[in-house]
Structures are given as C-alpha cells and as structure tokens.
Homo-oligomer: A and B are copies of this chain.
Amino acid sequence: MFTLFSIDGGVCAPEGFFADGISCGLKPNGQKDLAFVYSDRLCDIRAIFTSNRFQAAPIVHFKKHAIETTNFVLINAKNANAMTGERGVEDIEMVLSHAKSIHKNIKNPAMSSTGVIGVPLPKAAIMQGVEAFDLNTKNPDTAAKAIMTTDRYEKQIAFEVKLENGETFRIGAMAKGAGMINPAMATMLCFITTDAAIPADEMAPMLRMCAETTFNAISVDGDTSTNDTVMLLANGASGIYEREAFAHALERVMHELALKIVADGEGASKCVSFHVSGASNKEEAMMAAKALTNSLLVKTALYGEDPNWGRIASTIGASGAECDPQKLTISFSNVKVYDKGVILFDVEQEKKAAAVMKKSAFSIHCDLGIADGEFTAYGCDLGHEYVKINADYRT
C-alpha cells in the first residue's frame, strides 16, 4: 500500500533537482525560451523517442553518446534542430561542450529541442543563454514556461509517494505539447525527475509501459513529430524505492500530463475519452479508439457539439477493427444512442447527448460486443482556431 500526495514544485520537487528558464532571444519580446534541468548528483537517465524515421538531431546525439547517466538536460524552444543533418549534431556538441566549460559540474549533458524543422540551431544565442544559467536555481514554473511553443499554459505536476512504512520519495515532471504530435511547433516533450532509488534497468521498460496508455494514447492531429521525447531522470536522493508504488506514480504523472496536452490541443475546447470495449483484442480496440481520435469528421462534430453518432460508427467501421452493426453499442457518457442494430436517437435522446457534448470533458463509449479487448484513447475537437494556428504558423 502507498499513498500519493499532490505537491508543488514540478521537476524541482524531488530532492536534489534544480531547473530554470531564461530568455536567450529565440522567442520575441523577451519570452523565456531556454530551460535546464539539473541534479546535484548524477542521475540514471532513460528516454523514449518518436517513432518518426527522421529523428531530430538531439535524439541522434543522445543515442550517439549512449547517454545513461547525466546531471544536466538543456531544452530550447523555437527551433527543432530537425532535418539539419550532421551539422545539427555537431551544433549540439558545441553548445553542450560550452556548457561544460562554463559550469564545471555538468556531466554527460543531453539536449532536447522543439520548434521549426529544417533551420540550423541558433547556437550563438543558446551558448550565451547557457552562460547566464545559475544551476542552483529552483524555478520550475519558469522552466515549464520556457519550453512552451503553441501551448496556452505550462504543464507540470509532482507527487510525494508515501509507502506503508512511512518512507517517502518524490516524482515531478514538466511537459510541453499542444499537438500530439505537431512536427512544426508543438512537438511533445516531457521531463520527469525522481529521487526514488529506482534500479536503472527498470527505468526503460517502465517508461515504455506507461507511455502506451498515456502519451501514446493521445492525439491532437495524428501527426508524429521528429522530436517527441520523454525523459526520466532518477538521482536516487531519497534512498527509497518500491516498484509498484513508483510504477503507479509514474503512470499517474504521465497520464495527467498527457491529458493536459490534449486539453491544450491547438484550438481545442474539449478533451474527450474514447473508450472502446468488446473488441477482438486490445490491439483492435486501440485501432478503433485511435481512429476516433484522428477522424476529422468526428473532431469537427465534437467542435460543433453535434452528437452525430453515424460518424462514430462509420469511423469504427473503417478502422480495420472487426465489428458488426448488430453487436455495436454507442453512448455519449451514459446516454446510449445506438444499441446492437437499434437506433435510440429520438428527439429526447438527441437532446441528452447534445447536453453531454457541451461539457469541456466527457467520454464516448463504443462496445463492439465481440470479445473483451479494451482501450481508451484521448482526443480533442478541431475548430477554426486549429486552422488559424497551423495555416498562419510560420508567418
């Protein structure tokens, strides 16, 4: 048994972690655009990266150096350092080597970037910025702000985990992303810190497991960025670890940040859970649920607050999952509109379903009625603001 307590402090909540965000001139008007996460003792670090075949230079750099321990991660917004070839990696090496020469404590630094693809890293500005860092600062809010791009608000979270015997450890995180996954300006990045004494070899499998139901279950626009990154830094400062408690806390942290990203989806006004059950297996449930989060017709119907269940049925039918109109049921929250071949969509029921859709968060349940495969994916509506943001983005 264990208990989670929500606490302040984001990535700085766990013992020994520091973070700050400054402006180095990449964003206009002196907005914060460069952040770091630092630990006063060496951390184990593991990361999961985008499945995009054109992985950005920071990812190539991380893999090239096979970074497994570190105490410093540098993050910039406004430039993705993607499609920049070998020069992109060399630029990172220059920036990080400069950081080490200024801040002698830094060991095996890593970098992470988000922003426009195909523009060389503005390394002079970033190096100047790094010179201004004070590594002993705990400004998690400013760090979370500095990594934002089209995000409307910063995203962070922290928990203290209390084990049954009274021992505690902490986990904190910050994330950015307003398109999952928008390759131009809204790459999804997440940095998780912990003082739990997690064995290094448990980190990567646990990250991957938790990602499946959290960051890999959300979609804003169905695009997969060149830069997506989730990093877990563990410095062991608490000396405490319990596998089950840590896995639970990690899943919770990633789940809540994933939902914050969906809720902050570019132009989005609604966060919708698509719960698919009764599929042939989990993979098919996932196919159907993700198809729903990515269907333009479903997304525009959400925006229009129109309980157009036909679009939901049609999307499931086209998803590739095994299904049968005589076995399918569809509900908006607890309002059933289609039940195994019977349309329950009279004026009264339509009104009730429309009322559900007016909420800023609700769920849509689809039971395929075939076996017990189940998955929940999280999506948002698509409205005029999305078009505006993405049509006018670079200009």
Contacts and interface: CB of A to CB of B under 8 A. Distances in A.
A302 B10 CA distance: 39
A222 to B, nearest CB: 6
Interface in A214-248: 221-226
Contacts of A317: 52-55, 224, 226
A222 B310 CA distance: 16
Nearest to A314: B183
- Stoichiometry (number of copies): 2
A387 B311 contact: no
Given A53-B323, A184-B308, A391-B306, A226 B118 contact: no
Contacts of A341: 85
Interface in A365-395: 382-384, 386-388, 390-395
Which of A118, A295, A309: most chain B CB closer than 10 A? A118
Contacts of A325: 54, 83, 85
User: Interface extent on A, as a size class?
Assistant: 35 or more
Contacts of A83: 310, 313, 325, 338, 343
A394 B314 contact: no
Contacts of A85: 325-326, 341-342
Contact of A310 (B183, B309, B342, B388): B183
Given A184-B308, A304-B391, A392-B304, A296 B223 contact: yes
Given A83-B338, A306-B394, A182 B297 contact: yes
A83 B308 CA distance: 13
A117 interface: yes
A184 B297 contact: yes
Interface in A37-78: 50-55
Contacts of A323: 53-54
B117 A313 contact: yes
A148 interface: no
B391 A297 contact: no
Contacts of A295: 222-223
A301 interface: yes
B308 A394 contact: yes
B300 A386 contact: yes
Nearest to A54: B317
Contact of A221 (B53, B223, B225, B296): B296
Contact of A393 (B183, B306, B394): B306
Given A83-B310, A300-B387, A306-B391, 4 more contacts: A55-B317, A85-B342, A120-B343, A301-B391
